[in-house]
Amino acid sequence: GNSVTQMEGPVTLSEEAFLTINCTYTATGYPSLFWYVQYPGEGLQLLLKATKADDKGSNKGFEATYRKETTSFHLEKGSVQVSDSAVYFCALTPLLVKIIFGKGTRLHILP
């Protein structure tokens, strides 16, 4: 079946630290992969996406690479800010199947 597994939170880091949030998936075929971010009290925003193997999605200093060999799409940022505090959802959309979300990782950045 299709599923997404992401690291449990909360993740707490100091400002300017390096961030990695792990995401692995199982899927049939060749899904598109996404990271969505949800700031407190808001809806989800698309952060970045990748549609095929070895694609790198990037936005606002965040990056993730579609690794088919390890079925992973880890989110990274070199230097986090307090304003990055939010919940991050890894997601995939296999063809002919609805979007599958991970459980979400809550990120706290301390000043």
Binding site for other proteins (CB under 8 A): 31-32, 34, 36, 42-46, 49, 51, 89, 93-99, 101-104, 106
Kindly tell me which of 79 and 108 has the beta carbon lying closer to other proteins. Answer: 108
Q: How far is the CB of 32 from other proteins (least distance, A)?
A: 5
Kindly tell me which of 82 and 95 has the beta carbon lying closer to other proteins. Answer: 95
Q: How far is the CB of 10 from other proteins (least distance, A)?
A: 10
- The enclosing H or E element of 24 equals strand 23-26
Kindly tell me which of 12 and 51 has the beta carbon lying closer to other proteins. Answer: 51
- In 3D space, the residue among 108, 109, 110, 103 whose CA is nearest the CA of residue 8 turns out to be 103
Residue 89 neighbours by CB under 8 Å, 6+ apart: 6, 35, 36, 37, 38, 44, 101, 102, 104, 105
Q: How far is the CB of 16 from other proteins (least distance, A)?
A: 27
- C-alpha torsion angle, residues 14, 77, 5, 30 (rounded to 10): 180
Q: How far is the CB of 23 from other proteins (least distance, A)?
A: 13
| Under 8 Å between Cβ of 32 and 48 | no
Kindly tell me which of 19 and 47 has the beta carbon lying closer to other proteins. Answer: 47
